[in-house]
Amino acid sequence: MPETQGAGTAGLPIAGPGLRIGLFGGSFNPAHEGHRLVALECLKRLALDKVWILVSPGNPLKDHTELAPLAERTEATRRLMNHPALEVTAFEAAHNLRYTHETLTFLTAALPAAHFVWIMGADSLMNFDRWERWEDIARLMPMAVYARPGATFRATQSRAAVALADCRIPEEAAETLAGRPPPAWVYLHGIMSPLSSTAIRQARQSSQ
């Protein structure tokens, strides 16, 4: 096991020194092709070595009544991603990490030789200021925001986007993001999927 990994990082994929790693977290309830699209586009556009798909125990801002078991969501996400550069992990549950800032603090301390980028959809940026310690998240690592249908204007004019406007880099400089000191973020336009986990769950329920 490399020096960058130890007993405290149980459940994490291997992270060698200097690797550029995107972190794409969510409930993935269920994971769908839109998630895979974002992961692959960010892998390419940000010139990353890997994207880690972090399947969370549950989003603190969302209702958990329809949340499938973690093991079920993790296995389904792993089957869907099916790419050598996309690594699926549910390590947050094992380490009792509930909030994103806790996860990012843990990772930057445990794997200081890696270059991490936090990845989220534009719909998440719209309510980013409601996240626990969102300003600390922005200070912990660079962030990439990927376009979502109908969300671009509201996302880029959101409270968090306005507050972090001076830290936004041009989209054509996206490949440099992983090497930049935080706070730094980029908004990525590109191919978008209309799929949503909520719509998929509702369609499944109506067909039963």
pLDDT of residue 61: 62
Please tell me the distance from the alpha carbon of residue 37 to that of residue 50, in angstroms, as a whole number: 14
**10 with 106: CB under 8 angstroms?**
no
pLDDT score recorded for residue 74: 96
Give the Cα separation of 24 and 149 in Å (integer). 18
pLDDT digits (tens, 9 = 90+) for 157-171: 999 999 999 999 999
Number of domains present in the structure of the chain? 1
Asked if residue 192 lies in contact with residue 148, where contact means CB atoms within 8 angstroms, the answer is: yes
The CATH number for 188's domain is: 3.40.50.620
Q: Does residue 183 register a pLDDT over 50?
A: yes
- Mean pLDDT of all residues in 118-142: 97
Q: How confident is the model at residue 1 (pLDDT cuts 50, 70, 90)?
A: very low
Q: Is the pLDDT of residue 129 over 90?
A: yes
Please report whether residue 9 resides in a domain: no
- Summarize pLDDT for 13-48 with one digit per residue, the tens: 989 899 999 999 999 999 999 999 999 999 999 999
Considering the entire predicted model, what is its pTM?
Answer: 0.92
Round the average pLDDT of the chain to a whole number and report it: 91
Asked whether residue 196 is domain-assigned, the answer is yes
Q: Is residue 1 part of a domain?
A: no
Q: Is residue 95, in this structure, part of any structural domain at all?
A: yes
Residue 202 has a pLDDT of 73
Spatial separation of the C-alpha atoms in residues 87 and 24, rounded to whole Å: 10
Q: Which domain holds residue 182?
A: 19-207
Contact 116, 23 (CB under 8 A): yes
Inside any domain, residue 11: no
Is 8 part of a structural domain of the chain?
A: no
Q: Is 182 a domain residue?
A: yes
Q: What are residue 152's phi and psi, to 5 degrees?
A: -60, -55
Tell me, yes or no, whether 81 lies in a domain. Answer: yes
